[in-house]
Structure 1
Amino acid sequence: MDEKMIVACPSCHKKNRIASDKKDSAAICGHCKAALFSGEVVAVNSDQFRAHQSADLPLVVDFWASWCGPCQQYGPHFEQAAKQMPFAARFLKISTETEPHLAQQYAVRSIPTTLLIKNGQEVARQAGVMSAAQLKQWII
């Protein structure tokens, strides 16, 4: 029996049911036909975040702001880790400027703050800048 999982599309944020063993670069969204595992970081708002939060793929969430120097420094490392781990987790960016209520909901006190969310629940948190290698190690 094939195990099924729900994956939110990084482009249209619609949910897709796929076989767990079909997590590969050929998997596409049934709604918009975009790649489900592009390895790209996805900037999301509250509604889009909820779609990804209720899916089965773990989330790595970067809370950031455009005026934050360390956030700008961290961005390329976060993107590099996303490209290297497209099937392990969905990498999301949430702006604390446009989505302050999400930052408040997760008690984000400093930025950048990275959360690891599995099954809709926060399982780990790291404040500050990490290299791509440190981020990958932290996720695993």
Structure 2
Amino acid sequence: MSEIVEYNENNYREFEYETGVAVIRFYATWCTPCVQNAPFFEQLAQLFDASVKFGKVNVDQSPILTLRYQVFGLPTTLIFKDGQIVERLSSNVSIAQLQQKIQSYL
């Protein structure tokens, strides 16, 4: 089971320079699809061991990261492999789709 870490401008380098796979979800508390989809993201994190890092970024609290990764729609999920973005998924995606995409990078 992987833990979901809250990232911001002070600690984002932990996932940016991570070797292996990191899955980061950009969200906002006022975003209805983000709130509805949050339990699914937590379930997804439970499907993987600690070798896959999971995190989330609140766009209102981290505007620099939001601009840096060109997040314009919410929720947006980025999959990193060895520090490089390999997938950008906007909107809600099913657990099965995300699981399949993540496993393809392991």
Partner residue in 2 for 1:115: 78
1:139 counterpart = 2:102? yes
Partner residue in 2 for 1:44: 7
Where do residues 1-140 of structure 1 align in structure 2 (5 Å cutoff)?
38-140=1-103
Percent identity at matched positions? Answer: 37
The residue type equivalent to 2:18 in the other structure is A
By how many angstroms is 1:91 displaced?
0.7
Tell which structure's C-alpha radius of gyration is larger.
1
SS state of the match for residue 42, structure 2? helix
Q: Under a length normalisation based on structure 2, what TM-score does the superposition of the two structures give? A: 0.89
Please report the RMSD computed on the Cα atoms of aligned residues, expressed in angstroms. Answer: 1.3
**Distance between the aligned counterparts of 1:88 and 1:76, measured in 2?**
21
Q: Under a length normalisation based on structure 1, what TM-score does the superposition of the two structures give? A: 0.68
Q: Residues 74 and 131 of structure 1 are in contact (CA less than 8 Å); yes or no, is this contact kept in structure 2?
A: no
**Count of aligned positions:** 103
User: Quick one: higher RCO (CA 8 Å, sep 6+), 1 or 2?
Assistant: 2
Greater shift in the superposed pair: 98-107 or 80-89: 80-89
